[in-house]
Amino acid sequence: MNLIVFDTETTGLTYGDEILQLSIIDGNGKLLLDQLFKPTHKKSWFEAQEIHKISPEMVKNCPNISDYKKQIQKIVNQSELLVGYNINFDITFLENIGINFEGKKTIDIMKAFAPVYGEWSEYFGDYKWQKLTTCAAYFGYNYCPHLALEDVKATLYAYNKLKQLNKLDGYYETVNYTEDFWN
């Protein structure tokens, strides 16, 4: 199956925030895209910078993500399965710049890993979603978190481990536009 794994680093977590980095690899780990972007509107992002270390100085001479829209759409169009960790977050940010995911099959490794890890949330009545760092450590994968390229490599590793354990069934979804992430 032709799959891609992708991750973004952003200026924040809410509507109006922008993508600073996008990394995409294929199912064999081959790099398809790893690019920093200069945001269109945001000039600073102190809280996010503390996590991913991407500063305004680092992206001041980078292209805008709109310059890569055709390339990103082509990669998405050529894939049969989209893999990510908290994938709906990344899809929403990419949809906001005009990338079309309609009808694409996805799998969120964060959701598939939760019952494997087994931490129950009484509040939600379901298994607690874990951070990618927890998932990677569980499977013995060491990496530098919060860099999009490193995150996609860790996500692919976790995907392959979950596939070997036959723990992916029931977590495949198809993208549709009936839900609004921000509401």
Residue 56 lies in a domain: yes
Tokens found for residue 31 = 């790099």
The answer to whether the pTM exceeds 0.85 is: yes
Amino acid identity for residue 122 in this structure: E
Kindly report, residue by residue over 26-79, the tens digit of the pLDDT. Answer: 999 999 999 999 999 999 999 999 999 999 999 999 999 999 999 999 999 999
Q: Is the pLDDT of residue 2 over 50?
A: yes
Residue-wise pLDDT tens digits, 71-107: 999 999 999 999 999 999 999 999 999 999 999 999 9
- Determine, yes or no, domain membership for 180: no
Q: Which CATH number belongs to the domain containing residue 120 in this structure?
A: 3.30.420.10
Structure confidence at residue 14 as a pLDDT band (50, 70, 90): confident
Buried b (16+ CB within 10 A) or exposed e, 143-172: eeebbbbbbbbbbbbbbebbeeeeeeeebe
Spatial distance between the Cα atoms of 43 and 24, rounded to a whole number of angstroms: 25
In a domain, 101, yes or no: yes
Strand-pair partners of 82: 4, 106
Q: What is the pLDDT of residue 180?
A: 55
pLDDT in tens, 150-182: 999 999 999 999 999 999 999 999 998 645 554
pLDDT at 182: 46
Cα–Cα distance, 22 to 35 (Å, whole number)? 6
Residue with tokens 């100085």: 57
Domain count, the chain: 1
183 has a pLDDT exceeding 60 = no
Q: How does DSSP classify residue 83? A: E
User: Within a domain: residue 94?
Assistant: yes
Q: Is residue 124 a part of any domain in this protein? A: yes
